[in-house]
Structure 1
Amino acid sequence: MTTDVYLLDDGAWVSVDDRRVSGVGGLWRLADHGFCGCRLADVLAEGFVEVGLAPPDVEARLSGQCIACGEQGVTDWLAVGRVDPETGAFRAGVPESVHVPHTRS
């Protein structure tokens, strides 16, 4: 089963199979990250810069600003949702949950 993943509206949205599934403006809580000096960073998503598929996860890197310290930058890869391998149904992640960004090799 194929899954189309791409960015829309100059990085304002992540699209999965022609559906807008994750948009800018939300806070993403990051732990074990290199984004800023905060133990837990609350990053306001200002734009998605890359999107990809690491089955079953749909991942993205976002640009934003930590609302606690003001640091701006781009995150490593974050899971924004998951595609069920059997049905192809997409389930969105919860930005308010604690996320641990990772690098891709």
Structure 2
Amino acid sequence: MAISLRTLDDGAWVSVADERRTGVSELWRVRGVCDCPLAEFVVEGITDVAVDGRTVAAGTYGRCIRCGCSTSTTPIPVGRIVDGCYEPIDRDAVRRPVETTRPSDRKR
């Protein structure tokens, strides 16, 4: 079963199966985006959306409200596809950027 993933509204939302699921202005607890042990990262924009296995991840840019660092990120998990349905990651979960591959990047 194919599920569409894309960004909407000039990078304001991650759309999964044509529904807005994750958006800007959210506060994520993230490791590895700045020098803080645990960044309080305010998402200001979504640059890309990708999937690796069942994990849906979004490349973002934003600011850590602890240290003030503005940065772009590699994809950060926002949800999972389980039995054909999207399940968001708990907003209080600690996230970590992941490496993802696009179907066109996989070896044939």
TM-score by length of structure 2 reads 0.87
Q: Tell me how far 1:102 sits from its aligned partner.
A: 2.3
Q: Tell me how far 1:78 sits from its aligned partner.
A: 1.0
1:93 matched to 2:89? The reply is: yes
What value does the CA root-mean-square deviation take over the aligned residues? Answer: 1.3
Maintained 8 Å contact 1:46/1:64: yes
- Please list every run of 5 or more consecutive structure 1 residues that lacks an aligned counterpart in the other structure: none
Q: Give 3-state SS (helix, strand or coil) of 1:10's partner.
A: coil
What residue in structure 1 maps to residue 70 of structure 2?
A: 72
Superposed counterparts of 1:1-105, under 5 Å: 1-31=1-31, 33=32, 35-84=33-82, 87-104=83-100
What residue in structure 1 maps to residue 104 of structure 2?
A: none
- Kindly provide the CA deviation profile for residues 39-90 of structure 1, in whole angstroms up to 9, marking residues without a partner as x: 1111100010110111211111111000011000111211110111xx3111
Q: Which amino acid aligns with 1:98?
A: V
Q: Tell me how far 1:94 sits from its aligned partner.
A: 2.1
- Please list every run of 5 or more consecutive structure 2 residues that lacks an aligned counterpart in the other structure: 102-108
Structure 1 ranges of 4+ moved more than 6 A? none
Residue correspondences, number: 101
